Amino acid sequence: MGIYIHIPFCKQACHYCNFHFSTATKYQEEMVTSIVQELQMQQAYLADEPLGSIYFGGGTPSILSEKYLARIFDTIHQLFKISSNAEITLEANPDDLNKDKLLALKSMGINRLSIGVQSFFKADLDMMNRAHTPAEAISALELAFEHGFEEINVDLIYGIPTSSNDSWLKNMEKAFNFPINHLSAYALTVEPKTALAHFIKKGKYPPIDEKKANEQFEMLMHFAQAKGWTHYEISNFALPGKEARHNTAYWQGKAYLGVGPSAHSFNGLSRQWNIANNQTYMKAIKENRIPFEIEKLDTKDQYNELVMTALRTKWGCSEKQIAQFGEDYVLFFRKEIQPSIEVGLVAQVDDVYSLTQKGMHYADRIASDVMFV
């Protein structure tokens, strides 16, 4: 069981971003009041089991002042049981992390930081319109370790037009020079209606070079493997035993409650998502309504979710898991996965199927092959 809190504010808009956020940060107090109220309204969503993870994501959770974060925390403590060893993560941008902030986060019980470094090169950061500098990224990491954070994830982005394979190698080396235990790496993608899509259309930046992005992903897989790390989900790498518990629970189909605008919740039978608009969200909560849409998952949807998520992980997807939906689904899966096994994209060990290193490059296509339409 986990809780996700979406903090929908950012200092400035990164050119590639399609997450829900607003730069109107003056509404922080009102938003925190709404989030606290939604937590109270949603207290019964999860069964009465202790929370194994709490995750502050966004947007930029580190933008919130200590007093607002503490208000949310206090509410979670009042309403839910929290496991004594719960993983409590906060996404942070380097420019928000100074000594005082880190001490406050630590004293609140946050025991894991996910730091949005993205690149240690100014040209990459400028191109993506990130708010921080390479020096701030390094200082944030140094300070976080200095102030006792042991569980630290670094986010990096590969395939950036201003990068080369050489600069990507340096990015990986710089990240791994810190005693981090987790790395999330995403390919730069061009989402419709983002500033990046506009700039590429206008010729300001070249289109994304898929070949270079694939080469850099391949370099990362080899690099992490040589360090003894596990590649446990397409975009996620960790020291053995340091896999993120919150995200792993998503991929393993466990229930979670998402609070805040655009946040998703899942209870095994349905998935629901809050409206992605700060003002509409806050107005509805004031009226004691949670503005969400819901999708009930039928057997076919549940099967599709399982294969789509499980195949992205190192644990893979087993026939035993699929059998809960009926023998027809097992037969369908076996038939549709076969071509990917034959060309070495999927490996089968007993009744468990997982992507090979080569298959990691084609995860979406392989998942869509085995989905029931």
> Given the rule CB under 6 A, which residues bind ligand SF4?
10, 13-14, 17, 19, 21, 58-60, 93
CB of 194 vs ligand SF4, minimal distance in Å: 10
Q: Which is nearer to ligand SF4, 45 or 56 (CB)?
A: 56
Q: Which is nearer to ligand SF4, 15 or 361 (CB)?
A: 15
| CA atoms of 371 and 373, how far apart (whole Å) | 6
Q: Which is nearer to ligand SF4, 93 or 278 (CB)?
A: 93
| CA atoms of 62 and 97, how far apart (whole Å) | 8
CB of 333 vs ligand SF4, minimal distance in Å: 35
CB of 62 vs ligand SF4, minimal distance in Å: 10
Q: Which is nearer to ligand SF4, 7 or 337 (CB)?
A: 7
Match 């730091």 to its residue by tokens: 115
Q: How many CB atoms lie within 10 A of CB 209?
A: 15
Q: Which is nearer to ligand SF4, 144 or 317 (CB)?
A: 144
Q: Which is nearer to ligand SF4, 7 or 306 (CB)?
A: 7
Q: Hey, is 85 helix, strand or coil? A: strand
| CA atoms of 22 and 140, how far apart (whole Å) | 24
CB of 157 vs ligand SF4, minimal distance in Å: 9
CB of 156 vs ligand SF4, minimal distance in Å: 13
| CA atoms of 188 and 157, how far apart (whole Å) | 6
Q: Hey, is 228 helix, strand or coil? A: coil
CB of 131 vs ligand SF4, minimal distance in Å: 7
Residue closest to 129 by CA, chosen among 152, 160, 153: 160
CB 80 within 8 A of CB 30: no
| CA atoms of 178 and 149, how far apart (whole Å) | 12
**Torsion angle in degrees (nearest 10) through CA of 271, 275, 276, 278:** -140
